Structure 1
Amino acid sequence: MTIGKHLRGCALGAALLPGAVSAQTIITPEAFLDAAVGKTLTFYEIRSGGLVGTEQFLNRSVSVWREEGQGCVYGQITTPNGQICFLYDNDPDGIPVCWWPFLHEGRLMVRLASFAEGEIQEVRTMTERGLNCPGAPLS
């Protein structure tokens, strides 16, 4: 199932996806979470095409992030000001990393919510498989 088709069936509704999506369509963090909770998403850096990492959305407030070759890191999810933010257990400065989710030509993307760095990542897969991380909360 493609990401766009999955989101069409979620709370985004027909207003955001009336057919072929052209340009960029902002997605609310709530709609993003409606699609992501209970799923595991892979994120790729749009410019290089390289895998950034994989994130399992355990519920609307907790996720598990794993970079390639690294261990699991748990994150607290918040949704301030139209952004989806993650504060991970291993974050040394205690400042959440925030993203703006959007659709571009039917592809789910996130843009770093920092004007200094405009990193964009694409969600290439959304599966039911977990990351099998130790100590993961069940809900």
Structure 2
Amino acid sequence: MTTGRVLRGGALCAALLPGWASAQTMITPEAFLDAAVGKTLTFYEIRSGGLVGTEQFLNRRMSVWREEGQGCVYGQITTPNGQLCFLYDNDPDGIPVCWWPFLHEGRLMVRLASFVDSEIQEVRSMTDRGLDCPNAPLS
């Protein structure tokens, strides 16, 4: 088993936004992807603190998502209107799930881009380790 480097707090924010401040700062999907591509990020729900899942960013157009105890699901990434959107292979309605990435008090967060649900997730780790998912698409 290989151990990846983990970026936390200030190091993660500095990688995303040089000169970052502790206040909430929206970041572009492109800046988020600049930091995330080739990495695996772990997401936690901010209110409960519970693990939501882990996502490996294979490239700027494709990721693989895995919830705890479940299999891998591949997703297509798009960035319309300042949002970071994912359309996963197992999504029955064909509608992407979109997020607004931002920094808050030195922590990387994503907020669901929906006015109905204000779910916020925190990225607690960013590593070089992959998810070891079978049949990873090549492009």
Amino acid at match of 1:23: A
Unaligned runs of 5+ in 1: none
Q: Which residue matches 2:39?
A: 39
**Pairing partner for 2:11 from 1, 5, 23:** 5
- TM-score, with length taken from structure 1: 0.91
Unaligned runs of 5+ in 2: 1-6
**Counterparts in 2 of 1:129 and 1:138: CA distance versus 1, 3 Å:** farther
Aligned-pair identity (%): 82
Structure 1: which 4+ aligned runs deviate by more than 6 Å? none
Distance 1:7 1:128 in 2: 17
Alignment of 1:19-30 (within 5 A): 21-30=21-30
Distance 1:52 1:9 in 2: 23
SS at match of 2:11: helix
Q: Is the 8 A contact 1:83 1:113 kept in 2?
A: yes
Distance 1:3 1:27 in 2: 15
Amino acid at match of 2:55: E
Higher relative contact order (CA 8 A, sep 6+): 2
How far did 1:3 drift? 4.5
The number of residue pairs the alignment matches comes to 133
Distance 1:4 1:95 in 2: 34
